[in-house]
Amino acid sequence: MLLSADQSDANSLDSLSFEVIAAIAEKEGVDPTDIEPPNYEALYDVINPEALDTLFAPREDGSPRATGEVEFVYCGYQVLVSSEGDVDVTENVDA
């Protein structure tokens, strides 16, 4: 899945980057662990997964970050990630 070298982090399954992988896998009809090279591009080739995970995460003092959205193309899909934790994956019409 190539999200990080340490798969033991329990929070990685709740991360936005994992949610993106899972949403793509659902669209493709495969297991999330199948979303990796050479059959699929690596998420880190498109967006920094750690930055995505921390972008909308609460600050160290627990206060919320600003609201917003991030949009990018990954594996031929348009991906929209919101500060509420929603991940929306649609066909990329520009592909």
Q: What percentage of the chain exceeds 70 in pLDDT? A: 85
Domain count of the chain? Answer: 1
Residue 11 pLDDT greater than 60, yes or no: no
In a domain, 1, yes or no: no
In a domain, 64, yes or no: yes
In a domain, 65, yes or no: yes
In a domain, 54, yes or no: yes
In a domain, 2, yes or no: no
In a domain, 47, yes or no: yes
Q: How confident is the model at residue 13 (pLDDT cuts 50, 70, 90)?
A: low
Cα gap 52→55, rounded to integer Å: 5
The whole domain housing 72 covers 10-91
In a domain, 58, yes or no: yes
Q: Cβ atoms within 10 A of the Cβ of 93, count?
A: 6
Residue 6: predicted pLDDT: 38
Q: How confident is the model at residue 14 (pLDDT cuts 50, 70, 90)?
A: confident
Residue 10 pLDDT greater than 70, yes or no: no
Cα gap 44→52, rounded to integer Å: 10
